[in-house]
Amino acid sequence: MTENTDRECATSDSAGCSAQQKRPDETAEQFMERQELAQRMCQIGQKIFVLSGKGGVGKSTVAANLAISLALAGKRVGLLDIDIHGPSIPKLLGLEGTPMQGSENSIVPVGYGDTLKVMSIGFLLRDRDDAVIWRGPMKYGVIKQFLKDVEWGELDYLVVDSPPGTGDEPLTVAQLIPDADGAVIVTTPQEIAVADVRKCINFCRQLSLPILGVIENMSGFVCPKCGETVDIFKAGGGEAMARDMGVPFLGKIPIDPQIVEASDAGKPYVYHYARTETAIAFARIVKPLMGTGETRSESPERQEGDGTMRIAIPLAGGRLSLHFGHCEEFALLDVDADKKEITNKETTAAPPHEPGLLPRWLHEQGASVIIAGGMGSRAQGLFAQNGIQVVVGARAAEPEQIVMAYLDGSLEAGDNICDH
C-alpha cells in the first residue's frame, strides 16, 4: 500500500504521475477529469473490489461486513456501492432515506460512525422501489462521478461493492482505478456458483487486476440446538476452486440466521454479534487484507514446533482486574506452550482507555491471548480482528497463577461479568 493518506495529493506537482501527461486521444476536458479523479484516489490507501460471478451468494453482505470490520479495527474506510440496479448497502447499514448533501461540484458521502463513509445510488432515489433503467454509458458516468466528485478525503481503504457478473460496472471501476490493490471474490460452495466464479477470476486476470483471495460464503450451518454441522450448499467448493486456479483462499463464512435478521434490521452483523463463529470468521478474513497475516492459533496446543506465545493479563492492585477496561497496568508473560513454562514477565502501564485502542496496542506488544474477568462482546470482536484470543470469566489471582492454569488446562473460568 502506498503511504499517501497523511499528505496532500501531489498529482499536480509530481512529474512522474501518469495523470500529468495528456493522452493523444483525450480532450482537454477529459484530461482535467482524469486529473481530478487521480487527486481523489491518491488520498486513499488500498482500493479493494468485492466481486462475484453469480448473484445470491451474499456479496453485498460480505462487502458491508468487511468494511465494518476494517472500521472497527480503527481504519478509515470508504464503502462504495456500484450496484446501480440493485443497491443493497443502504439497507444493510440502516441508512435508507438518508438525505444527501453536497455542492455543485462535490458530493458528501454518508457517514456511518466515525471512520466509515458510504456512497450508493440508493441515496439518490426518490423511492427505494424506483427502477434504474440505464444503459452502459450512463452507468459509466455515475460511477466516475462517485469516484471523482465524492469527497472521500483521506482513507486507509475503499471497499467497492460490485454487482454480480463481469459486465459494465466492474469493468468501469477497474478501468477508472487501474492501480487498485485487488479483488475479493465471493462464492458459495456449490458447483453452479463456483463455475461462474471461475469466470470472474479470469475476468480479473484479463484486466491485470490482482486477486486478493476467495471467500466461501454460506459454508455449513451449525444447528444451535444439537451442534451438528449441516452442509446445506455442500462445503469446500470455493476452497477447492481457489486451489485449482492458484489464487489465495481467505476463509469460510458459515450460515447464521442472525445475519438475515441483522441485514433486514439494518444492523451490521459483525458489530452486533461479535462473539459468534461467523463474526470471528470475518475477523480472520480481514487479517490478510490488512497485511497482518493469518489469525494466530486459538490455543497453545496448536502451536507445535514453536510453542512461544505472549499472554496479557489486565491488573488492578497486582491481581487480575475483573474488567480489562478498568485495569491500571498489564502483565505481559512470554511462555513456552510446549514445555508449559513462563520464560519472561514484564509489567507495563495501560494506555489511555480510548475506544478500540487496547486491542491494537496489545497486538503491537505481541500478545496473542488476553485473559480477563469480563469483556463486552464488541471488545471481544475487536480483539479477534487483531489476532488475539480472548478468555473471559477468570477469577482474580496473581498473573503467574492464571497463566500456568491456562497452560495446563486447569483454568477455571466462570461467567463473563460484562456483556455490553
Q: 43-289 maps to which CATH number?
A: 3.40.50.300
Question: 298 pLDDT exceeds 50?
Answer: no
Q: Which three cell numbers stand for residue 231?
A: 452442509
CA pair distance 197, 145, nearest whole angstrom = 28
H or E segment to which residue 400 belongs: helix 399-407
Q: Which three cell numbers stand for residue 100?
A: 444527501
Exposed, middle or buried, 398 (CB in 10 Å: 0-12/13-18/19+)?
A: middle
pLDDT band for position 2 (cuts 50, 70, 90)? very low
Q: Write down the pLDDT at residue 278.
A: 84
Residue 253's DSSP bridge partners are: 217
CA pair distance 24, 11, nearest whole angstrom = 19
Mean pLDDT, to the nearest integer, of 133-140? 82
Q: List, by residue range, all CATH 3.30.420.130 domains of the chain.
A: 300-407
Q: List, by residue range, all CATH 3.40.50.300 domains of the chain.
A: 43-289
pLDDT tens per residue, range 192-231 = 889 888 999 999 999 889 999 999 999 888 676 766 668 8
pLDDT band for position 307 (cuts 50, 70, 90)? low
3-state secondary structure of 196: helix
Q: Write down the pLDDT at residue 20.
A: 67
Q: Write down the pLDDT at residue 235.
A: 77
Domain at 300-407, CATH class: alpha beta
Residue 328 identity (one-letter amino acid): E
Q: Which residues contact 60 (CB under 8 A, 6 or more apart)?
A: 81, 83, 88, 89, 92, 161
Mean pLDDT, to the nearest integer, of 326-338? 88
With pLDDT > 90 as the criterion, what percentage of the chain qualifies? 35
Q: Which residue would you say has higher pLDDT here, 152 or 396?
A: 152
CA pair distance 242, 214, nearest whole angstrom = 6
Q: What is the mean pLDDT of the chain?
A: 83
The C-alpha cell 486459538 sits at 298
Q: Are 320 and 286 in contact (CB under 8 A)?
A: no
Q: Which residue would you say has higher pLDDT here, 157 or 128?
A: 157
Minimal CA–CA distance to 258: which of 61, 34, 43? 61
Q: Write down the pLDDT at residue 255.
A: 87
Alpha helices in 266-321, H assignment, sequence order = 269-272, 277-289
